[in-house]
Amino acid sequence: MRYFAALLTFVAISLTSYGPASADVVDDCYRTTIEVPPSNDRIISVCSEAVRVTTGQRRAASLVSRGVGYMQKGYLDAAMADFDESIRLHPHDSWAYSNRANVWGLKRQYDRALSELNELIRRDPSFIGAYVDRGVVHRERGDLRSARADFEAVLGMRSNRRDIEDWAKREARRNLDELSGR
């Protein structure tokens, strides 16, 4: 359950990276992901329309958003299918890989989540959220030394997005406190 709570916060922040593309269905899809409180049914409905009418990178972004709606509703196989398709369309999108790793974590397939996150970090070592996610996976697997190393690494990192950096450092500190018994 701890894994899921941290994940939802990161997902909500991460989706803002796609930003509004234009005043169209992709923009509507994006906006549904940052509504407070989020409505997963609305995300799925609006983003399904965006997926239906777009192609290429815009479709890939809409698939990630819809996949998050599925993931938050617990429809993990549907979420995985959307993240897989997004990666096929846009193989360099770190957000799709990160979300796919989170689905593996939610399925308690920690070895697959760890493999996904290791590959993501290899491809994009500045992707700060991947270190938090990997630290959580290490913790869930009982590898507290590796978890601590990832959380400590986050504290020394910078992100080009202040909201993501703030979230990652807050989560790293919280997890380090937990590991220290505070």
CATH of the domain at 21: 1.25.40.10
Q: Cα(166)–Cα(7) distance, rounded to whole angstroms?
A: 15
- State the number of CA atoms in the 13 A half-sphere of 59 facing the CB: 15
The pLDDT of residue 59:
95
The pLDDT of residue 10:
55
Low-confidence ranges of the chain (pLDDT < 70): 1-23, 182
Global confidence as pTM: 0.83
Residue 6, domain extent = 2-179
Quick: pLDDT tens for 66-103: 999 999 999 999 999 999 999 999 999 999 999 999 99
The pLDDT of residue 7:
55
DSSP class of residue 34 equals: T
The sign of the CA dihedral 121, 116, 170, 34 is positive
Q: Cα(38)–Cα(148) distance, rounded to whole angstroms?
A: 32
Q: How many domains does the chain contain in total?
A: 1
Q: What token pair was written down for 81?
A: 């299918």
Contact status, residue 94 vs residue 124, Cβ threshold 8 Å? yes
